[in-house]
Amino acid sequence: MLTIGNLAKMTGTKVQTIRYYEQIGLMPEPGRTEGGQRRYTDTELDRLSFIRHSRQLGFSLDAIRELLDLSDHPDRPCREADGIARRQLKQVERRMARLEALRAELQRMVHECSGGSTADCRVLEVLRDHSECLTDHEEIGA
């Protein structure tokens, strides 16, 4: 039987995060001691490991919910899990392409900066005037 603290250590998760996962129904309600403290079994350890690993690979909690559901039904076709992973892969690739454009732009800004006063700082100049940019980089965030 694991305390929440041990489970946290074993999975590299914060205690609060585990309780949060329980709250949103991603982790089941565990057993409790007479005093009301949570005690976990290996089943829950496996589930949390799955969740954490999926998060590390960038899956959203909603996607993880689906994956867990599929994992719980070994008879269902694999296609769905595969689809979720493929979507995630697409998203990662899209983000990478975007970051690459940003990287190029930032590098150009930084390289062209001569180190004088801000009056003629290339960095600020580029930020001021979008037309100096080589790429579009429309969307924000992501």
Site of interaction with DNA (CB under 7 A): 3-6, 8, 14-17, 19-20, 33-38, 55, 60-62, 140-141
Per partner kind, with CB cut-offs from 5 to 8 A, the member of its own copies, DNA, none near residue 70 is its own copies
DSSP class of residue 130 equals G
Question: Could you tell me which stretch among 1-9, 25-33, 35-43, 84-92 binds its own copies (CB under 8 A)?
Answer: 84-92
Tell which one of 4, 62, 115, 134 touches its own copies (CB under 8 A): 115
> Cβ 129 to its own copies, closest distance in Å?
8
Question: 12: alpha, beta or left, given left = phi > 0 and alpha = psi -120 to 50?
Answer: left
Q: Are 80 and 71 in contact (CB under 8 A)?
A: no
Minimum Å gap between C-beta 35 and its own copies is 32
Rounded to whole angstroms, the Cα distance separating 118 from 116 reads 7
Q: Are 48 and 55 in contact (CB under 8 A)?
A: no
Q: How far apart are CA 93 and CA 71, in angstroms?
A: 25
Using CB under 8 A, pick the residue from 4, 7, 27, 109 that binds its own copies. 109
Map the footprint of its own copies across residues 9-48, applying CB under 8 A: 12, 46
